[in-house]
Structure 1
Amino acid sequence: MILETSRLMLREMTMRDTKAIASILQDEQTMYAYEHAFSDQEVKDWITHQIIRYQKDGFGLWAVVLKETGEVIGQCGITMQKIPGKEVPEIGYLLNRNHWHQGFAIEAASACRIYAFKQLEFDEVYSIIRENNIASRNVALNNSMEVRGKFTKHYYDIEMPHLIYSARKKDFIKNA
């Protein structure tokens, strides 16, 4: 276990999580911001990429487990992402649609922000969100992040405007 909140545990993903992660990544409604649902191979590649991140960076997207049932309901964590001019630690989150609108994304993302500041000692953390993804933008705002910029990503030959949100350690931890 990496993190624990009142309702959730965040832990490293394994290939045993393939079915639960596939239920998220293969749902077209959940994946609207990506413009496509993932194939079986893309799901396996996604999990493999997280495992590589754990080994390389010591962090990545983690499985979000509902304490009450032990069910994997999503993924949330910290990954290094490129924005214009630099690479930054990003808090990302993606939950099974059956668990939307219950505060789980905010709960997990907030725990990741604190972890990024205290354990990983980052001075600033980001969330890079497609402009039309209002739900994720609201999570970032509720995670005490502010819009710091905008850029366009090119993904699957589609231009996707993204907003850059961030939270700064100095605003949360005294004497940072």
Structure 2
Amino acid sequence: MSIQLETERLELFEWSQETVTGLKSFLQNPEVMYAYEHGFSDDEVENWLKWNLKSYTENGYGLWGLRKKSSGMIIGECGLTNQKIEGETFLEIGYHLAKEYWHKGYAIEAAQRCKQYAFNELKAETVVSIIRDTNLASMKVAIRNGMLPQKYFIKTYRELEMPHYLFSVTKNNSYQE
């Protein structure tokens, strides 16, 4: 398992077939995936894994698994992906955490590290988070990560129209540790 980034409490690692059980542990939970309106099936998890593996190869980044350093437990994922919104491609910081790890600061810890990586290593000028309009917890993470809402748009997923906000921060307007 290749560790990509670290924080005080977390290791961010590349997903693989060997860690797919950890991925299923939260992607298949409808409460965790409520912004998608359903928990993922085995096939959807497999496609998610393939999408990340392709991103690692093509871009050098993707959504990375989150493992607690203290226990080795996989608690979710956070990372960078390329997302197309209304014809424009954005570098997005995305995150999903197993429910039992919500509200413990793990999402912001990982998201801030991904922002640092995007600005310092990838030399990105802007990063975004794309968040469904009902997902207040994710909005709070984005705001704590220095982002502000820039755009409101509709995303269609499984024939459902879902309002979203595009939160963003630029390198020049971001505190760098």
TM bucket, shorter chain:
over 0.9
* 1:44 equivalent in structure 2: 46
1:122–1:19 CA distance, 2 compared to 1 (3 A): same
Cα distance, 1:173 vs structure 2 = 6.5
| Cα deviation 1:90-117 (Å, max 9, x = unaligned) | 0000001111110000000000001000
Structure 1 runs (4+) greater than 3 angstroms displaced: none
CA distance in 1, matches of 2:77, 2:124: 21
* 1:34 equivalent in structure 2: 36
| Cα deviation 1:51-102 (Å, max 9, x = unaligned) | 1100011100001110001111100000000112410100000001111110
- Picking from 115, 118, 139, the partner of 1:116 is 118
CA distance in 1, matches of 2:120, 2:75: 25
1:15–1:159 CA distance, 2 compared to 1 (3 A): same
CA distance in 1, matches of 2:135, 2:158: 17
* 1:144 equivalent in structure 2: 146
Calculate the TM-score normalised by the size of structure 1.
Answer: 0.96
- Picking from 97, 103, 106, the partner of 1:104 is 106
Matched, 1:61 2:58: no
Cα distance, 1:11 vs structure 2 = 1.1
Residue identity opposite 1:164 in structure 2? L
Percent identical: 44
CA distance in 2, matches of 1:126, 1:22: 25
3-state SS in 1 of match to 2:44: helix
Q: How many aligned positions are there?
A: 174
Unaligned runs of at least 5 residues, structure 2: none
Unaligned runs of at least 5 residues, structure 1: none
Residue identity opposite 1:20 in structure 2? G
Cα distance, 1:172 vs structure 2 = 2.9
Residue identity opposite 1:41 in structure 2? D
Query: What RMSD over aligned residues (CA atoms) do the two structures have, in Å?
Result: 1.1
